[in-house]
């Protein structure tokens, strides 16, 4: 076997350090699945969330299973808070290799038509869902440079294809940030990609789209394979984008949605 042959070890993250924002807020969440999945692949994980108790719960779960994790209370919309998150990461694990910009407002942003949304609410939404990802990415870059490169994965949504809510607008804008940062950071050996989940059976997802809702029933008839998935169904895509297996992938949005984007 030549040294160039692919092996499954290229999906391992041993010795890597990852931050997952929004990883502790809501029980069965995508953020929790991401944090646990990265830890199971060998990474040391910073479980970051505005909800301190939730972050501590997920970090304890990882540590109890033999992984390495710390909990950090962080507000991604606040530059001082994000700087403190980076300092805590450096102090605990000596650097940073992976940033997963998962934290977002969702349930709070769906339901009110855009034309009826107050400007204050819209600006708050964009501050978290878009500007927060930029604040965190900017703060991560010096740590990446100290390690020779890094990976950023932004959390999009099937709700942005096409955008039909202010939440969807924020996710389309985040796609633009993804391709822009991929262009700007590529020469620094930083890959920037995104995952766009479909309807996910997280606690938040079930609250937003309960099984009996007309939207879900319509999707059941239109989606080509599987209308709804579990948070764990997204972890494989995350590991591809964060690991050496994905070193040649940047500026991409990966739809993980059972074919939701192809609905007709």
Task: Give the Cα separation of 262 and 8 in Å (integer).
Answer: 30
User: What pLDDT band is residue 20 in, cutting at 50, 70 and 90?
Assistant: very high
Query: If phi over 0 gives left and psi between -120 and 50 gives alpha, with beta otherwise, what is residue 148?
Result: left
Task: Give the Cα separation of 39 and 86 in Å (integer).
Answer: 18
Query: DSSP state, 70?
Result: E
Burial of 121 (0-12, 13-18, 19+ CB in 10 A): middle
pLDDT tens digits for range 30-49: 999 999 999 999 999 999 99
Active-site residue, 34 included: no
Q: Nearest 5°: CA angle at 249, between 136 and 192?
A: 10
Pair 74, 85: CB distance under 8 Å: yes
User: What pLDDT band is residue 258 in, cutting at 50, 70 and 90?
Assistant: confident
Pair 224, 262: CB distance under 8 Å: yes
Q: What is the pTM of this model?
A: 0.93
If we measure between CA atoms, which residue out of 23, 44, 21, 18 comes closest to residue 33? Answer: 23
pLDDT tens digits for range 146-159: 999 999 999 999 88
* 206, pLDDT greater than 60: no
Q: Which residues contact 113 (CB under 8 A, 6 or more apart)?
A: none
If we measure between CA atoms, which residue out of 155, 186, 157, 167 comes closest to residue 248? Answer: 186
Task: Give the Cα separation of 90 and 206 in Å (integer).
Answer: 36
pLDDT tens digits for range 46-72: 999 999 999 999 999 999 999 999 999
Q: Nearest 5°: CA angle at 207, between 201 and 211?
A: 65
pLDDT of residue 4: 78
Q: Active site residue: 93, 144, 167, 260, which one?
A: 167
Query: If phi over 0 gives left and psi between -120 and 50 gives alpha, with beta otherwise, what is residue 28?
Result: beta
Task: Give the Cα separation of 79 and 140 in Å (integer).
Answer: 12
pLDDT of residue 110: 75
User: What pLDDT band is residue 2 in, cutting at 50, 70 and 90?
Assistant: low
Q: How far is CA 220 from CA 51, 78, 159, 201, in A?
A: 34, 40, 16, 14
């Amino acid at each position: 076997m030549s040294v160039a042959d692919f092996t499954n070890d290229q999906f391992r993250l041993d010795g890597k350090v990852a931050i997952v924002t929004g990883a502790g807020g809501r029980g069965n969440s995508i953020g929790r699945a991401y944090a646990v999945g990265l830890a199971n692949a060998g990474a040391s994980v910073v479980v970051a969330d505005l909800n301190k108790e939730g972050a501590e719960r997920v970090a304890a779960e990882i540590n109890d299973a033999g992984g390495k994790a710390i909990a950090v209370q962080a507000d991604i919309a606040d530059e001082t808070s994000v700087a403190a998150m980076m300092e805590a990461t450096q102090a605990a694990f000596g650097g940073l290799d992976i940033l997963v910009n998962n934290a977002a407002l969702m349930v709070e942003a769906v339901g009110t038509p855009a034309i009826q949304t107050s400007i204050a609410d819209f600006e708050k939404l964009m501050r978290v869902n878009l500007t927060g990802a930029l604040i965190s990415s900017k703060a991560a870059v010096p740590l990446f440079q100290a390690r020779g490169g890094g990976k950023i994965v932004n959390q999009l949504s099937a709700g942005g294809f096409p955008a039909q809510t202010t939440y969807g607008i924020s996710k389309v804008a985040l796609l633009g940030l993804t391709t822009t940062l991929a262009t700007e950071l590529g020469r620094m050996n930083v890959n920037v990609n995104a995952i766009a989940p479909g309807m996910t059976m997280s606690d938040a997802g079930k609250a937003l789209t309960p099984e009996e809702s007309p939207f879900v029933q319509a999707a059941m008839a239109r989606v080509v394979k599987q209308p709804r998935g579990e948070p764990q169904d997204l972890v494989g895509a995350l590991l591809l984008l964060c690991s050496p297996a994905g070193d040649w992938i940047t500026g991409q949005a990966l739809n993980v949605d059972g074919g939701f984007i192809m609905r007709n």
